Structure 1
Amino acid sequence: MKTILIQLDTDPHPSTFDRVVAIDAGAEELFSYGGVTPDNVTGLVHGAMFTRGPGDLKNTAIFIGGSQVEAGEALLKKVTKLFFGPIRVSVMMDSNGSNTTAAAAVRAAARHLDPGHTTAVILGGTGPVGHRAAQILASLGATVHVSSRSKDRAEATCAAIRKVVPEGKVSPCGLGDEALAALEGAQFVIAAGAAGVEFFDEATWSRSKALQVAIDLNAVAPAGLGGIGITDKAVSKDGTIRYGAIGVGGTKMKIHRAAVQKLFESNDAILDTAAIYEIAKTL
């Protein structure tokens, strides 16, 4: 029996990136749908649930993608509500690559420090990747400063993380001097802001004596942290290990492929932020 991955994309056109990764991960058949919303998804999910017997449903799975993470999360919530008893299929949500990229960034840092005993600053922490990186770190026991231009948005992100990780040590942080003050006592920083935004030049951020690992996830110049090259991978400079977007990208791709493969091991997996990080830990 062939494995079938059903791609539900919230954008009008299903992502070609996600389609290529699905094929490379071993999906034998790929059904791709764009413009999917909670209002029109029911028939697609029922088609996945009711065409194979319970013992064969592990060969069908759903991947939720698209550029808007909130739309993907709403779709995941609706999809899982449609399941009942053993009549269900595994589902993965990775809108905008948020979960796999965040997992890859934390795993990169974990090669050089213990994330559970770390103070981290997430610049652009209210964005899709920054939010999820902060959530993963909080779940591991790190102290996390979520930095944003809007302190209110940073607090809202911290509140959302606390709902998932009640014991999470997360706090909101502004940019500029407030973020620099947080960096003074941090061992780890991730820049996960919008394309083309430089948070600090190299001379400014590298003044922190505590920093051990700095990761910049911006693939479009300028870097969010000046001086980090897009292809940097475990580059040591001035006492800090540096990673650029492509330097983290290889690990992100491995996680993405492994997660798609995981979907076909059972019919009841729900691969969200926490579950995808657990997969990342095995690689």
Structure 2
Amino acid sequence: MEKPFILHLFTPEARVSPFDVNMAVDAGYQVLMPYTGVELPMVVGLTHDAIFSRGPKGVSRTGLFIGGRDVLLAADMLEAAQKAMVPPFVVSVCADPSGAYTTAAAMVASVQHHLRRRHERSLAGLRVLVLGGTGAVGRIAAVLAAREGATVTLSSHTGQAHASQAARATGSRFNVSLQACSGQHPEDVLSALQQCDVVLATAAAGVRVLSLTQLQQAPSVLIAADLNAVPPSGIEGLGPLDDGVALGGGQAAGIGALAIGNVKYQVQQQLLRRMREASTPQCLSFEDAHRVASQHLGLVAA
């Protein structure tokens, strides 16, 4: 009898995400085992237990999934798991803390898709403002946009100091340069908005970070994307299913949360299936998620 497909889920949090559990089952994993309260030093031991217990054939049907809420810690845990492999005992591993890696990848690829379709431009040389940029998705979206050649600014509603700390820590961990600004007051947001070409709203659910009036006063904005599917929307006037609609009476195109979410779902499913189906072990992070999202949207060849 063939061994079942097992996915071990590591998280520093008190529980694993039901979303990740559903996605893993739909991707074909038959046994899911959650490990909560996982700290970075524990990853090596857990990985060794996973790889040495099934034999060379069994490891091909074994995977590790790293969740949590801290995108920097998840990257460190992914690296630790990868380094703990002992060939030929090597299993596939994927990190997607709070869905931030796949969501950020879907958001940035969706922006790139509409920049190309509406304006025949790429992110290279553009100015990107990330509202709620100190959160999980905002940080990774910022990294991906910066790697595509954009000048990226993280904004925080708590002020300049918090934004600067997040920009330094995130930029240092992923080797990109990120700027920071305060989003504490409406005038702060408007000032930053008037100096950007793309705005990404990645704040908490149910929090409006950008009004239509502010957007109308920022004629340079080409794309405005929002992740908030919980009313009120993060960007006024932008519906969750909107996908490239005119917004604010200017040249801006709006991308809503569910339009991005549809891409995110496809990306996470493909990554999980790749782990299960690949003939060689996979190590998957947000760069891989962005590549899959770009392929899904026709930005690059599959």
User: Does 2:151 align with 1:143?
Assistant: yes
Read off the aligned partner of 1:217 and give its amino acid letter: L
CA apart distance, 1:249? 0.7
Read off the aligned partner of 2:134 and give its amino acid letter: T
Read off the aligned partner of 1:27 and give its amino acid letter: Y
Give the distance between the partners of 1:140 and 1:71, measured in 2 at CA: 23
Structure 1 residues 215-230: aligned runs within 5 Å: 215-230=225-240
CA apart distance, 1:169? 4.6
Check the 8 A contact 1:141/1:169 in 2, yes or no.
Answer: no
Instruction: Give 1:66's match in structure 2, choosing from 59, 68, 84.
Output: 68
Deviations for 1:214-252, whole angstroms, at most 9, x for unmatched residues? 111112222222222223222223232112211211001
Identity of aligned residues (%): 32
Give the distance between the partners of 1:195 and 1:30, measured in 2 at CA: 28
CA apart distance, 1:10? 2.8
Which moved further from structure 2: 3-12 or 97-106?
Answer: 3-12
Instruction: Give 2:168's match in structure 1, choosing from 159, 181, 202.
Output: 159
Check the 8 A contact 2:111/2:223 in 1, yes or no.
Answer: yes
Which residue is equivalent to 1:208? 218
User: Does 2:242 align with 1:232?
Assistant: yes
SS of match in other structure, 1:189 = strand
Give the distance between the partners of 2:164 and 2:16, measured in 1 at CA: 33
Give unmatched runs, 5+ long, in structure 1.
none
Instruction: Give 1:281's match in structure 2, choosing from 286, 290, 294.
Output: 294
Which residue is equivalent to 1:108? 110
CA apart distance, 1:41? 4.5
**TM superposition score normalised by structure 2:** 0.84
Instruction: Give 2:191's match in structure 1, choosing from 181, 190, 195.
Output: 181
Instruction: Give 1:252's match in structure 2, choosing from 264, 286, 291.
Output: 264
Which residue is equivalent to 1:20? 22
**TM superposition score normalised by structure 1:** 0.89
Give the distance between the partners of 1:162 and 1:42, measured in 2 at CA: 26
SS of match in other structure, 2:231 = coil
Give the distance between the partners of 1:180 and 1:169, measured in 2 at CA: 23
Check the 8 A contact 1:88/1:268 in 2, yes or no.
Answer: yes
CA apart distance, 1:89? 1.5
Check the 8 A contact 1:138/1:165 in 2, yes or no.
Answer: no
SS of match in other structure, 1:258 = helix
Aligned residues: 282
Change beyond 3 A, Cα 1:42–1:116: same
Give the distance between the partners of 2:275 and 2:129, measured in 1 at CA: 32
Which moved further from structure 2: 221-230 or 208-217?
Answer: 221-230
SS of match in other structure, 1:31 = strand
CA apart distance, 1:276? 1.9
Structure 1 residues 77-88: aligned runs within 5 Å: 77-88=79-90
Check the 8 A contact 1:127/1:192 in 2, yes or no.
Answer: yes
Give the distance between the partners of 1:11 and 1:147, measured in 2 at CA: 26
